[in-house]
Structure 1
């Protein structure tokens, strides 16, 4: 019986790798709030409380409590993402001069209330397998995904060198696409700043984790577990051609197709039963070093480096009776460890060291350009998440509800580049149930709603204090000021998860 399940699981891993094409995920930054229907039904709470084979994704020590079983999950995830820009040059003129401004216009040049990302429904598969070695030890495999940097905007325009600078030299030009990747609208400027290729900007990041786990009980109260982690991630970007000239590797910024990256790390965990009704759990995932995205080394800092940050979580499980269980978790995701994600956009450094000398001549500090050692990142802060879940069992049914709240990874000063990755939700509400159809087969269901949230900030490249003279001569005038454009990033999410589990002990 076990050999049959093992062969089926090996084939399922291959099938999952194919199914993840085009998927997206974003809840706590670009980390999922949970990786199984049971976890998702409790908002991801469960560091000290595990009941399915997916526990290897949160705390490998919990595998000793699962038994011999196999779980398959399939989610339909729907993120609704949009941005709004105010003080647009084609609607309300921006005073002074600007290096880069965004216009939320449709294909006929009419202003829209918002620019909304396409592709709002994504399939997300997952699977896990566990079986006992002996009375004290167990091993298993968990396969799941992260993602979320998946957007594409098919409307909008961008203006380069706007405002007073056009009165000195014919610098200003407007381009199709929110990041100026398309053709000119009107006459080209002196520098030919439009991308002239694909106008619709977008990015796509997906991470696939394969996590074997070994766990062992020590006495009646303590369990320890360890999981080596193998990761494959995939990325591509498009419609960013206008920014390629401001990179240390201009031909490795955008429109280079799909690129893969591989790496590995580890997760360790423990659980300890303090009393029959109280259990404590903790786990830590290491920083995962990934091979660089060579085809995008002109976009991401340090020649295409895009590692996976370390995370750690602690939790308690309260079990007042056999049919009531409560889980409370604390999770920390250290996005600042990854330069491409955690480093800020420093507008003065980027413009004075890279953009101005490239356009006007002079020594270029390529370390400050896109892809450089000190180039712009997404500016994400570390995320702290609190998760609460409640589970009630009655007969063949188990009912779940949950809530999680995370701190905001995207600060108001970093909204410009995060148009491409607007992971701004903070409050997640979940519910779910399991129907144990027979001793061997059960069915799981979960639903999640992440409430609409908005982060508003300035576009620091849209207005230059001091006007055209500062634009031409440089200086400390490229930070945010009251005349910069206001950008609003908004997002809400809905997710349905279906699962089936098989027990063979």
Structure 2
């Protein structure tokens, strides 16, 4: 094997994607994505114990050892439809509103290269969609008591926008039936909030001047992802993967919104899975994932936990999320593969947290996936996936005994190109 050299164009593409991944909308497991490439989306995000292309390392770094020499590009057109209904929920307008900005483009890139002496190197750039909402400047008679007179929170157009981008450089190795991988990962976050009237929220925060309308702020940090995989037999493989909590720099411009003066770390998660191959042309996958949102105070603390921005103060009240996935991949012919999957994710927002959940209504639960791969020639493969997330609603009390009901459903379509060397 030739001495390893990362192609210059691969590095350039990584940089471009790192700088250009757009802020997306509320993703499907809270604000974690269902998956990070079309091959994985086609099976409902499953694959802790199964590798397909370089993006498989985003699910489990232990997959790096089985991918071979390959490069992949992907693009997802993601459309979340979210909004709320309100009945006398001061200050929200009666009848509620729907969020705009319904389509987002989310790219991904991965490169995998075997090394001399065993092992392999993997480079990936991918993103989580964030807590994105964009409510129009609607008429709101409930704002008569506030200085503003329009918008869902009496200060014109309202919403939040969170983007998370990851750049991962991983190493994986296979010894016999056992594979392992480790991937130090750099993360960057971009966040903005607007339309939250200071006259309404000022008494609820330690710093009303850094609560809303400060434009975008950037936060960076590092975390570690790692995984194991063991082939029990040619038919059965099991896997385990996880990521640490990412310690991020603070959002100084939103020191009055997030706990402890702008702290907003990325939560840890853990996944386990098994792949069963009853025939050489069929793979069946079963995965479980837990995302520890409740350990991030800005996200998990109750909104009654004192003031926003204070150490140990108020948050959005999110619970941990459990995700169960099943997926199937069937190779119909040497050139055509079909995929299908289903994922169920518990809803992180309880009825007691619907008021602030208006800003980030990530309440969906049932995810359905279909896709496939067409081999174009000996080196190139075209992947595609379609995902549908069924409508889900959560209803709870607003202020002064009123009712608020959150709702969301989603569509997405993905395409990708993989080249093997």
TM-score (norm 1): 0.79
Find the aligned partners of 1:147 and 1:407 in 2 and give their Cα distance: 18
Q: Flag the structure with larger Rg.
A: 1
Cα shift at 1:21: 2.8
Cα shift at 1:250: 1.6
Cα shift at 1:4: 8.5
Q: Is the 8 A contact 1:385 1:406 kept in 2?
A: yes
Find the aligned partners of 2:352 and 2:141 in 1 and give their Cα distance: 19
Structure 2 residue 146 is the aligned partner of structure 1 residue 207: no
Find the aligned partners of 1:2 and 1:15 in 2 and give their Cα distance: 26
Alignment equivalent of 1:393, drawn from 324, 328, 331: 331
Q: Is the 8 A contact 1:158 1:174 kept in 2?
A: no
Q: Bigger shift: 447-456 or 233-242? A: 233-242
Q: Per the alignment, in what secondary structure is the counterpart of residue 175 of structure 1?
A: coil
Q: Is the 8 A contact 1:241 1:253 kept in 2?
A: no
Alignment equivalent of 1:225, drawn from 181, 184, 196: 181
| CA distance 1:172–1:53, shift in 2 (3 Å) | closer
Q: Which runs of 4+ in 1 moved over 6 A?
A: 1-5, 171-174
Unaligned stretches of 5+ residues in structure 1: 89-99, 105-111, 163-170, 182-198, 350-367, 464-483
Cα shift at 1:25: 4.7
Structure 2 residue 40 is the aligned partner of structure 1 residue 39: yes
Q: Is the 8 A contact 1:30 1:148 kept in 2?
A: yes
Cα shift at 1:142: 1.3
Find the aligned partners of 1:338 and 1:277 in 2 and give their Cα distance: 39
Q: Is the 8 A contact 2:27 2:362 kept in 1?
A: yes
Q: Per the alignment, in what secondary structure is the counterpart of residue 407 of structure 2?
A: strand
Find the aligned partners of 2:17 and 2:196 in 1 and give their Cα distance: 30
Match of 2:216 in 1: 258
Alignment of 1:31-430 (within 5 A): 31-87=32-88, 100-104=90-94, 112=95, 114-134=96-116, 136-154=118-136, 155-157=138-140, 159=142, 175-181=149-155, 199-218=156-175, 220-242=176-198, 243-246=200-203, 247-346=205-304, 368-395=306-333, 396-430=335-369
Cα shift at 1:235: 0.4
Structure 2 residue 417 is the aligned partner of structure 1 residue 500: yes
| CA distance 1:55–1:304, shift in 2 (3 Å) | same
Alignment equivalent of 1:449, drawn from 388, 407, 413: 388
Structure 2 residue 417 is the aligned partner of structure 1 residue 487: no
Root mean square deviation, CA, Å: 1.8
Q: Per the alignment, in what secondary structure is the counterpart of residue 129 of structure 2?
A: strand
Find the aligned partners of 1:269 and 1:406 in 2 and give their Cα distance: 22
Q: Is the 8 A contact 1:148 1:423 kept in 2?
A: no
| CA distance 1:172–1:250, shift in 2 (3 Å) | closer
Find the aligned partners of 2:141 and 2:100 in 1 and give their Cα distance: 19
Q: Is the 8 A contact 1:71 1:502 kept in 2?
A: yes
Cα shift at 1:172: 7.5
Find the aligned partners of 1:251 and 1:389 in 2 and give their Cα distance: 48
Q: Per the alignment, in what secondary structure is the counterpart of residue 245 of structure 1?
A: helix
Cα shift at 1:158: 6.5
Cα shift at 1:22: 3.8
Find the aligned partners of 2:343 and 2:412 in 1 and give their Cα distance: 15
Q: Per the alignment, in what secondary structure is the counterpart of residue 233 of structure 1?
A: strand
| CA distance 1:156–1:147, shift in 2 (3 Å) | farther
| CA distance 1:159–1:369, shift in 2 (3 Å) | farther
Cα shift at 1:136: 2.7
Q: Is the 8 A contact 1:25 1:77 kept in 2?
A: no
Find the aligned partners of 1:131 and 1:458 in 2 and give their Cα distance: 54
Q: Is the 8 A contact 2:130 2:164 kept in 1?
A: no
Cα shift at 1:248: 1.2
| CA distance 1:49–1:172, shift in 2 (3 Å) | closer
Q: Bigger shift: 255-264 or 369-378? A: 369-378
Q: Is the 8 A contact 1:78 1:495 kept in 2?
A: yes
Find the aligned partners of 2:141 and 2:45 in 1 and give their Cα distance: 40
Q: Per the alignment, in what secondary structure is the counterpart of residue 151 of structure 1?
A: coil
Q: Per the alignment, in what secondary structure is the counterpart of residue 415 of structure 1?
A: helix
